[in-house]
Amino acid sequence: MNTLKPSWKGSLYYLISFLCSGAYLPFIYVYFSELGLSGEQVGLVASLAPVMTMLMATALSSLADRNHMRVRTLQASLLGTGIIVFLLQFPTTFSEIAILMLFSAIFSSPTMSVADSLIARMAQRSKLNYGGMRLWGSFGFAVSAVAFGAIWQVFGFKPMFVVASLMYIPLIFITGKLEEGPITVKSERKPFSHLFRDPGIVLLLIASVLSGIANSLSITFGGIFARSLGAGDLLIGIMIAGGALAELPVMFYSDRISKRLRKSNTVLLSYGLGILAYLGYILVPTANALPVFSILKGLGYGLWLTGNIRLITERTPPEWASTAQSLLGVATFGFAPLVAGPLGGWINDAISPAAVFGLAIVSLVLAGVVLGLGILLKKLD
């Protein structure tokens, strides 16, 4: 393992990480509902992750940056999450489940930002294609969700917690092989406030909140909308798998695309693909056509995710690598879902499931205006 090339280390991390996630995340709330939790209780439990991301991710990532302990912080985060996943097989009441899910949200809050910072910086130092490593995550999630979905359908959800928790063991091992990166002397360290003195970073974070709202609406209400058009479980599964697999080619070629179009323009292109996909959702006459637009959405997501990570990586000093990624995570997967969930739910009930994607389109248009302003003012590359 010590002789593995950096590209293999990053690829293996993303592959195993998303294999773990795909084994239980698509099914955990279904399991909770089968235990008797109401829709409101499931919603409250689901809100813990974005709340803890907002409250804890930046603080823990900053601590990892200050003490040059990104790898150990990531391993501790994964270990805690794996233990909680194992314990989730035992509680049967809402209060017990909520307590464990709270700890899961705390442990997992810095995971994405620290991992992305380690691997993106490693790619930058070794002149590697970051998207070529990240695509293995999307591949792993698609394969895992479909394969384990079929397994849990036969054996039930009880084995899910043991299997998923054991999968964290090789993930923690491969995490230990990631490169910590160069150490910055304390006297040369720029202050944390330096990040917010860059107008480009501020505009990128605002655009990420707006585009993150559209992404959260799609994740939360995509299946509900498909069901309203008469889609069955198989068609919904095809939508999810098709969207995830569509991310693979654009992630692989995202480095070339960003060099040809420039990084900010690549993110703008991702907004455009998302707008076309959601417009297709609204106009489509039958559920059978939804996978086509789900694939289009996946193409946009692949460019959006890798483009944002590249932009934030190249605009921040190495000593604040994890902290900067955590700010991006808070904007995209913390604040945005907390806005999208209640607002999208109200629109879904008061107007229609299709109207939710009208809000997604508006969010992406506003994100494009903000990012376009940064490009025109030459604050973003």
Q: Share the mean pLDDT of the chain.
A: 87
Cβ atoms within 10 Å of 45's Cβ, excluding its own:
21
Q: Give the pLDDT of residue 277.
A: 95
pTM here is 0.80
Q: Give the pLDDT of residue 106.
A: 93
User: Percent of the chain beyond pLDDT 70?
Assistant: 95
Q: Give the pLDDT of residue 2.
A: 58
Q: How confident is the model at residue 214 (pLDDT cuts 50, 70, 90)?
A: very high
Choose between 187 and 56: higher pLDDT: 56
Buried b (16+ CB within 10 A) or exposed e, 138-169: bbbbbbbbbebbeebeeeebeebbebbbebbe
Q: What pLDDT digit, counting tens, does each position of 234-277 carry?
A: 777 778 778 888 888 988 888 888 888 888 899 999 999 999 99
Cβ atoms within 10 Å of 33's Cβ, excluding its own:
13
Question: CA-to-CA distance for 57 and 327, rounded, in angstroms?
Answer: 8
Q: What pLDDT digit, counting tens, does each position of 83-122 carry?
A: 999 999 999 898 999 999 999 999 999 999 899 989 988 8
> For residue 179, which phi and psi values (nearest 5 degrees)?
-85, 125
SS3 content of the chain, % helix, strand, coil (to 5): 85, 0, 15
Residue type, 133: M
Q: Which residues contact 156 (CB under 8 A, 6 or more apart)?
A: none
Token code pair at residue 126? 């070794």
pLDDT at residue 166 is higher than 60: yes
Q: Which is it for the CA torsion 249, 5, 175, 320, positive or negative?
A: negative
Choose between 279 and 226: higher pLDDT: 279
Question: CA-to-CA distance for 217 and 335, rounded, in angstroms?
Answer: 13
Q: What pLDDT digit, counting tens, does each position of 114-149 carry?
A: 999 899 888 888 888 888 898 899 899 888 888 888
> For residue 232, which phi and psi values (nearest 5 degrees)?
-90, 180
Domains and CATH numbers, the chain: 1-179 (1.20.1250.20), 193-381 (1.20.1250.20)
pLDDT at residue 350 is higher than 70: yes
Buried b (16+ CB within 10 A) or exposed e, 112-129: bbbbbbbbbbbbbeeebb
pLDDT at residue 184 is higher than 80: no
Q: What pLDDT digit, counting tens, does each position of 291-303 carry?
A: 899 999 999 999 9
Q: Give the pLDDT of residue 192.
A: 65
Q: Let me know: does 294 contact 165? Beta carbons within 8 Å.
A: no
Q: Give the pLDDT of residue 209.
A: 94
